[in-house]
Structure 1
Amino acid sequence: MTQTTMREAFFHPSAADPATDLRIDDASLVVLSSGETTLVVAPEVGGSIAAYYGVVGEGASQRVLHWLRPATRAALADRDPLRMASFPLFPYCNRIRDARFAFDGREIDLSGDGNRYAHALHGHAWRRPWRVGARTSACVELQFEHVPDPQRRGDWPFRYRASQRIELIGDALRVTLAAQNLSESAMPFGMGHHPYYPRTSNTLVTADVEAMWHAGADVLPTHLGSHPAVDALEAGMNADAFDLDNNFGNWKRSATIAWPNEQRSLTMTADAPFDHLVVFAPANDAQLCVEPVTNTTDCFNADEDTRDRSGYRVLQPGEAISAELNWKPQRD
């Protein structure tokens, strides 16, 4: 699909083409609403958010403003989280080199778990269904529990529970991520969310970051250092300015995605320990991700010198963690 047609295929609640209409009356979806704002959640597609939009204007002038890149009906039918608006990352973020790392005196081998990538990617919770818990018209709680299966090749060998509380507060979106180690031993851990944003030729991304993790051809980090994108992000970086799939360190946990020609913007804020930011803005592509995460790519394989800067984290038996992410729309 070309960049133009991909952008045109976005879900619209009154789309004439049924192939791109997400059908919010689908029983597998959870639809939340607050005023003129709607959030569509797809629990069975990795606990993903499928759409987040507001309706403005009246009558013939009414239009839909998508704050995240919406899924299509085809994406939902294919159960493809990578084509959703956003999906959760548990029990780690980004890639693990060759799907292997050493922990507590043993090798953890995640290869062959069904992930089609050479390196383990984004954990596994995004590729499995989540259970719907308590819900109201503007809020839903999703739960996921992983019990290791020693007969399943590449399975994550630690038991844990994860949850998402997804809610609309006015027109703002809040997602509270939480997890608890249910194993009898310590467990390496990371979490995050993977939001996609509408990308146009003048989309701007603004964030205060200290440095960028440079990466090789395999998109694995080589070193933390300076890059023109660091200054560009502080000033307001055009999404087309660089070819990026990189982690940024020591961001101030606030980033704004703006569409100046549409006179609107979306500001994302995060609690600690979401101390790392991923910007995925590949050249000649319609995708744009600005992701809050707790750990950098391949942090489980980080050496002693970089481990503290990578977000490497261990949850002790019974230990729990929880933190909020917020997205606030603004129209000029």
Structure 2
Amino acid sequence: MFAIAFRRQQYDTYILTDQAAQSRLEVVPDRGGIITSWQVQGRELLYMDTARFADPSLSVRGGIPILFPICGNLPNNTYTHNGQTYTLKQHGFARDLPWEVLDRVTQDQVSIKLGLSSNDQTRAVYPFDFLLEFTYTLKGETLATHHRFTNRSSEAMPFSIGFHPYFLVPDKNQLRFEIPATEAKDQQTQEVLPFFNTFDFDRDEIDWEFPHLTSQVASVSDLSRHMSITLTHSNSLSTLVFWTLKGKDFYCLEPWSAGRNALNLGDRLFYLEPGASLETEMNLRVGFI
């Protein structure tokens, strides 16, 4: 049986359930269209800093934030387009703005479709007209996400996209990784290092980018929780980022279409023609080991 419930609190929350699979998803359109909780067989898979989430002046640290129209940060938070300089903060604005519920489905599956359109607030920092349509679907032990980006401008629209899942972990030393890359770039030192599917969790912060993937499938096994999470994503999401902080019960494995500062450098940047659309997918599947 599939169902969608509604909970009204500080932010309206939609709760999707697949009772046969004992899976549950919470989505908050008003807070950046974010997924705040994903549970399978009663186990929470996502980390959420509830204090930051309750403060609208702070960026959310937890769940699955949406990154658009940039991933990461720009030097001095600025970029130039047609000779004019604009200010755009880290990861863009999609994760902060309210999204609209466009559709809900509970027959044969359970899904919710959200939309975000350009407005005066977005055009002040990003002079393009767009429509984003995201669909979140529960399929047993899988969370499937589909994304459609449409350029409503009269000129080509440059952008990058990404997702920032925060996975809950009680003991990072019990994690085992299968990331399809042989080298990584340390964003703190800018060094390119060989990668052997291990991290030094004694470091205060790990912020590594994997720009050269050999496949679009990565997985992390958590031996302490006897479970694994497999991430699959579209080819156009060509980069993975791993980020974590010492002493925090999360790790992030983030598929991005381009690296930091792509809006200035042009590297792997999408240029969507007027009236055109781009579609991508990111799916997460949990397994028990």
1:50 match = 36
Q: Is the 8 A contact 2:129 2:153 kept in 1?
A: yes
Contact 2:161 2:258 (8 Å CA) reproduced? yes
Indicate the residue corresponding to 1:272 in structure 2.
235
- Equivalent positions of 1:289-328 (< 5 A) are 289-302=252-265, 307=266, 310-328=267-285
- Report the Cα distance in structure 2 between the residues aligned to 1:262 and 1:287, rounded to whole angstroms: 14
Shift of residue 294 of structure 1?
0.4
1:53-202 equivalence runs, <5 A: 53-55=39-41, 64-70=42-48, 72=50, 74-79=51-56, 82-103=60-81, 105-110=82-87, 120-137=89-106, 138-149=110-121, 155-201=125-171, 202=174
CA offsets 1:61-96 (integer angstroms, 9 cap, x no match): xxx311222463x45533455233111111121111
- Cα separation, 1, equivalents of 2:176 and 2:256: 20
C-alpha contact 2:25 2:35 (8 A) present in aligned 1: yes
* Whole-angstrom distance in 1 between the partners of 2:283 and 2:201: 25
Secondary structure at the residue paired with 1:326?
Answer: strand
**Equivalent residue runs for 1:19-58 within 5 Å:** 25-26=7-8, 28-34=12-18, 35=20, 36-55=22-41
Q: CA deviation at 1:205?
A: 3.0
Q: CA RMSD in A?
A: 2.4
Query: Matched residues in 2 for 1:66 and 1:273: separation?
Result: 29
- Quick check: 206-215 or 138-147, which moved more? 206-215
- Bigger Cα Rg: 1
TM-score by length of 1: 0.75
Query: For 1:230-253, what per-residue CA distance to the aligned partner results, in whole angstroms no more than 9, with x for missing partners?
Result: 22x2xxx35726542122112222
User: Could you say which structure has the higher strand fraction?
Assistant: 2
Counterpart of 1:293 in structure 2: which amino acid?
W
Deviation at residue 283 of structure 1 after TM alignment: 3.2
Q: Which residue does 1:254 correspond to in 2? A: 217
What CA distance in whole angstroms lies between the structure 1 residues aligned with 2:155 and 2:199? 45
1:100-148 C-alpha deviation (Å, 9 max, x unpaired): 2233x4233115xxxxxxxx21110111000001102310000000134
CA displacement, residues 36-62 of structure 1 (integer Å, 9 cap, x when unaligned): 00000011110000100023xxxxxxx
Question: Which residue type is aligned with residue 99 of structure 2?
Answer: W
Amino acid at match of 1:97: P
Does the 8 Å CA contact 1:205/1:239 hold for their aligned counterparts? Answer: no
> Are the aligned partners of 1:32 and 1:40 in contact in 2 as well (CA < 8 Å)?
yes
For 2:121 and 2:52, the matched residues in 1 are separated by 29
Distance 1:239 1:178, change over 3 A: farther
Residues in 1 aligned to 2:282 and 2:261: alpha-carbon distance in whole angstroms: 23
Deviations 1:178-215 (A, max 9, x none): 21111111221111111000123223332011432333
Taking a change above 3 Å as real, the CA distance of residues 67 and 319 of structure 1, as seen in their structure-2 partners, is same
Find the residue that maps to 1:44 and give its secondary structure: helix
Q: In proportion to residue count, which structure has more helix?
A: 1
TM-superposed deviation, 1:285? 3.2
Out of 42-51 and 245-254, give the one that drifted further: 245-254
1:282 correspondence with 2:260:
no
SS in 1 for 2:147: strand
Counterpart AA for 1:211: E
The equivalent residue for 2:287 is 330
Q: Gaps spanning 5+ residues in structure 1: where?
A: 1-22, 56-63, 112-119
Taking a change above 3 Å as real, the CA distance of residues 209 and 293 of structure 1, as seen in their structure-2 partners, is same
Partner SS for 1:278: strand
Normalising to structure 2: TM-score of the pair? 0.86
Q: Percent identity?
A: 22
